Structure 1
Amino acid sequence: MFNLNCPLLRPVMVLEDDPNVQMRIEKLLQAFGYEQQDFLFAQSISVAKQYSQHVDVQLALVDLGLPDGNGIEFIDYLRLEQQKTDVPIMVISAWNTTEMIYQALSAGATGYVLKERDDLEIMFALRSILTGGAIIDPSIAKEILNKFVGTETPHLDLKRRSVLSNRETEILKLIASGASSKEISAQLAIAKYTVDVHIKNIYQKLEVNSRTKAIHVAQNIGLLR
């Protein structure tokens, strides 16, 4: 079993209408050290929005096929209306169409994993999210990367390449390697707070709101080649 010792983001919003899947997610997160009071379970988008108006959600696990719509609506709500640009959002869904996954990532999802994966694979994805990484289900990652190439912000030019400082470019490359803020802090011998400030500056300069988008934009303009 891999190391389960990682930062716990509380509370966790679990937007999922299947009680069995809710129980599965709860059990997997409890293995990391989460307790029952750390969870907010919602079976519809409307209920999830109500909860998030009163509770400062720090991690969201979102299904897409819900009774009152598509979970992407809730991702949009967190990112745009609630301005939660740094809150990790992982989609756990049975939907595996390229277009749907692309829409979820474009809306600001930090990661996407299929429900069909076994418990260990989903736990690995959860750990990646909790440690500041971004993850896309391996079976669809290649297709998604191909989809993103040339379809991010139109006509990304060389000006975007020059706006990042050397330190920001260095941190962006470490992000692309899957390193968390804590790991970047240790590797560069700088405070984690300083790393987080650099990451926010990177987001602002590249006009993105997630690590996944920052990586794809950087690939498009040649920063990660």
Structure 2
Amino acid sequence: MNRIRVALADDHPVVLAGVRALLNADPEIELVGEATCGRDALRMIEEAMPDVAVVDVSMPGLNGLELTERVARDCPTTRVLVLTVHEDAAYVQPLLKCGARGYLLKRSAADDLLRAVRAVATGGIYLDPSVAGQALADSSGAAGDPDAARSGEALSPREAETLRLIARGLSNKEIARRIDVSVKSIETYKARAAEKLGLKTRAEIIRYAAARGWLDALTLR
């Protein structure tokens, strides 16, 4: 039987080492590459063409949403399994829309990583049980909220762009660098937008972005 070829992308050395050890301990899995930032991960995946790419959501360069979209588009034989600390179920549907085939919490990795890799490699979809039910329910509610869609008209272009990038997992510093403004300005845009829309948490921002279709097709800059 052919071994499952897996690539790994995470910017935390301790996590990288732990996941590497889990993968290398399984004789049916072959680790074919590692990366610590999104752009390096994309190049590595394009070169190695693994069966499964295990990627973090929050990485420098390209975040997990952007990386997933690019891999799904450019490397259709590679299936993406997201491995993340984010227990916020609102991340799940946007990632699945971008092409991810699995979503696993890092705290579950010791018990479930190998099971998730096998499920994804054989064409299935794996969702961490801790977030699966809530994620699917939240997505259904957000997508059908016409008031949320109308309320976006009140946002300025900068406010809308800030919310869009927050929903994709970027930090205030990364957003400020991307649109060439100060971190303080980003904080102001975020606060104004959240007040206009009545959004209080990152989960609500992500669900709002998904309902608006902002995460359906990612545009790289």
Q: Normalising to structure 1: TM-score of the pair?
A: 0.56
What SS is found at the alignment partner of 1:41? strand
Determine which of 43, 61, 70 is the counterpart of 1:68.
Answer: 61
Aligned equivalent of 2:46: 53
Q: Aligned pair in 2 of structure 1 residues 131, 32: CA closer, same or farther (>3 Å)?
A: farther
1:120 aligns with 2:115: no
Which residue does 2:15 correspond to in 1? 21
Residues 53, 124 of structure 1: alpha-carbon distance in 2 compared, 3 angstrom cutoff: closer
Once the two structures are superposed, residues 142-181 of structure 1 have per-residue CA deviations (whole angstroms, 9 ceiling, x without a partner) of 11221344778xxxxxxxxxxxxxxxxxxxxxxxxxxxxx
Partner of 2:208: none
SS at match of 2:4: coil
Looking at structure 2, the residues matched to 134 and 52 of structure 1 have their Cα atoms a distance apart, in angstroms, of 20
**Contact 1:72 / 1:104 at 8 angstroms: preserved in 2?**
yes
CA apart distance, 1:77:
0.6
Is the alpha carbon distance of 1:35 and 1:60 closer, same or farther for their aligned partners in structure 2, counting shifts above 3 Å? closer
Tell me how far apart the structure 2 counterparts of residues 127 and 23 of structure 1 sit (CA, whole Å): 20
Is contact 1:111–1:136 with CA below 8 Å preserved after alignment?
yes
| Distance 1:74-1:27 versus aligned 2 partners, 3 A rule | same
Long gaps (5+) in structure 1 = 1-5, 153-225
From 88, 97, 102, give the equivalent of 2:79: 88
Q: Does the 8 Å contact 1:7/1:130 carry over to 2?
A: no
Match in the other structure for 1:209: none
How far did 1:126 drift? 2.5
Provide the rounded CA distance (Å) in 2 between the counterparts of 1:35 and 1:151: 38
- Kindly indicate whether the alpha-carbon contact (under 8 Å) linking 2:32 and 2:48 is maintained by their aligned counterparts in 1: no
Using the TM superposition, give the Cα deviation of residue 49 of structure 1 relative to its aligned residue in structure 2, in angstroms.
2.0
**What is the rounded CA distance, in whole Å, between the counterparts of 2:102 and 2:2 in structure 1?**
17
- In the TM superposition, structure 1's runs of 4+ consecutive aligned residues that sit over 6 Å from their partners are none
How big is each residue's C-alpha offset from its partner over 1:22-51, in whole Å with a ceiling of 9 and x where there is no partner?
Answer: 121112112321577x32111011111222
Question: What residue ranges of structure 2 are gaps of 5+ in the alignment?
Answer: 144-221
1:7–1:120 Cα change, 3 Å: farther
Q: Secondary structure at the match of 2:91?
A: helix
| Residue 34 to residue 41, structure 1, CA distance change in 2 (3 Å) | farther
CA RMSD for the aligned pairs?
2.5
Aligned partner of 2:3 in structure 1 is 8
* Aligned pairs, number: 144
Identity %: 25
> Displacement of 1:7 after TM fit?
5.4
